[in-house]
Amino acid sequence: GTALHRAKQAGGGRAAFFEQGMGEAAEQRFRVERELRHAIGAGELRLHLQSQVDVSGRVTGAEVLVRWQHPRDGLVPPGLFIPIAEESDLIVSVGGWVLAHSCALLAQPVFKARGLRLSVNLSARQFRQPRFVPQLRALLAASGADPRLLTLEVTEGLVIDDFDDAVAKMHELAALGVDISLDDFGTGYSSLAYLKRLPIQEIKIDRSFVRDAPTNADDGVLVEGILSVARHFGLRVVAEGVETQAQADFLRQRAPDIVYQGYLFGRPEPDAQWLEACQTWKSPTAN
C-alpha cells in the first residue's frame, strides 16, 4: 500500500511516515506535499464539524476539522497531512481553503437564526501572513458571514513566535468582531503569564487534562486552576475530548457555564450532515 494507507493501517500515527529509512521518509513527505497541493484544486478537502454543547445539552456551535478525501487512501485525518503542510507555505493554501469554505458555511442562515458559532483552527504560518487580517475581512464580507459568530483557534506556539505581532493582529480581529480561542490550553509552557496580555475570549482545556480530571487528583487540580483563571479573566471555556459522563459531571460541578466538545456529545461529521441535523431541529449530537 501507499504511505498514507500504511500510516492509517498502523493506527493513524504520524510515526508510520517516518519509520522507514530517512530517504524514503523524505520522499514520502514530498509526495504527500505534491498530492496535497493538487488536492486543494481538485476539491478533495472536506470540512467536518464537531458539535459544542452547553451543560443543558443545547448545541452552541461547532469546530471545523479538515479532512482529505484521498482518491486512493480514503478519508485522511488532519494529523497525517497538516504537520507536513505546516513545514511550507502549503499550509497557507490549505488554511485559506478551510477559512473560505468555513465562511461560506457560516453564512448559512441557520447559524444566525440559532446563534450558532463556528470555530476554525489556524496555523502559525497562516496567522503570520502580513495580509492575513485583510484577507479574512474580505472573505467575511464576500460570504456575508457574521464575524461575531466566528472563533479562530490558535495555539500558544503561534503566540510565542512573535508576541507583539500576534497581539496586534488579535486586536484587529477583535475589532472585526471575531473571537480568539487558545487551543490545547495547558500543554504549552507560559500560558498563565501570557493570558493577562492576550486579547482572547476563550480557552480550550486540552483533552489530556479532561481525560484524567475525575480520577487523577493532579489533573483535577490543574483543571480547577484553569477554570479559576478563566473565570477571573472572563473567558469562555470549552473542554475538549469529553468522552465520559464522569468527565462531564466533574466539569459541570465546577463550571456550570462550561461548553463541552467530545465523543460523548458527538463525533466530527461531514458539514452537510451537521447542517441538515441543525436545520431539522434534530440534535446533531443525538446518538
Of 225, 180, 174, 181, give the one whose Cα is nearest residue 203. 181
Cβ count within 10 A of residue 25: 14
* Residue where the block lists cell 474580505: 138
Residue 121 lies near ligand C2E (rule: CB under 6 A): yes
**Rounded-to-integer distance, Cα 80 and Cα 4, Å:** 8
Longest dimension (CA), the chain: 54
- Confirm if 118 and 64 have CB atoms less than 8 A apart: yes
Nearer to ligand C2E, 35 or 153 (CB): 153
The mark string for 97-126 relative to Mg ion (x by CB under 5 A, - otherwise) is ------------------------x-----
Composition of the chain by helix, strand, coil, percent to 5: 50, 20, 30
Q: Which does 79 bind (CB under 5 to 8 A by kind): ligand C2E, Mg ion, none?
A: ligand C2E
Q: In angstroms, what is the minimal distance from the CB of 104 to ligand C2E?
A: 14
C-alpha cell at 146: 457574521
| Site track 143-182 with ligand C2E (rule: CB under 6 A), x = hit | ----------x-----------------------------
Among 184, 219, 269, 271, binds Mg ion (CB under 5 A): 184
Whose Cβ is closer to ligand C2E: residue 184's or residue 219's?
Answer: 184
Q: How far apart are CA 266 and CA 281, in angstroms?
A: 15
Residue with cell 460523548: 264
Verify binding: residue 53, ligand C2E, rule CB under 6 A.
no
Rounded distance between C-alpha atoms, residue 230 and residue 228, angstroms? 5
Please give the helix or strand (H or E) that residue 29 lies within, else none.
Answer: helix 22-42
Is residue 271 close enough to count as binding Mg ion by CB under 5 A? no
When the beta carbons of 35 and 184 are compared against ligand C2E, the nearer one is 184
**Applying CB under 6 A, which of residues 241, 255, 269, 274 lies at the interface with ligand C2E?**
241
238 contact choice in ligand C2E, Mg ion, none (CB below 5 to 8 Å, kind-dependent):
none
Helix (H, G, I), strand (E, B) or coil at 46: strand
Q: Which of 98, 195, 238, 239 binds ligand C2E (CB under 6 A)?
A: 98
Cα dihedral: 78, 84, 86, 88 (round 10): -150
Asked whether the CA dihedral 261, 266, 269, 274 is positive or negative, the reply is negative
Looking at the Cβ atoms of 66 and 213, the one nearer to ligand C2E is: 66
Under the criterion CB under 6 A, does residue 183 sit at the interface with ligand C2E? yes
- Three-state secondary-structure class, residue 254: helix
284 counts as binding ligand C2E under rule CB under 6 A: no
Tell me whether residue 27 or residue 161 sits nearer to ligand C2E (CB atom): 161
Nearer to ligand C2E, 35 or 240 (CB): 240
Positions touching ligand C2E (CB under 6 A) are 50, 65-66, 77-79, 82, 95, 98, 121-123, 153, 183-184, 240-243, 261-263, 268
Question: What does the binding site for Mg ion look like in residue numbers (CB under 5 A)?
Answer: 121, 153, 183-184, 240
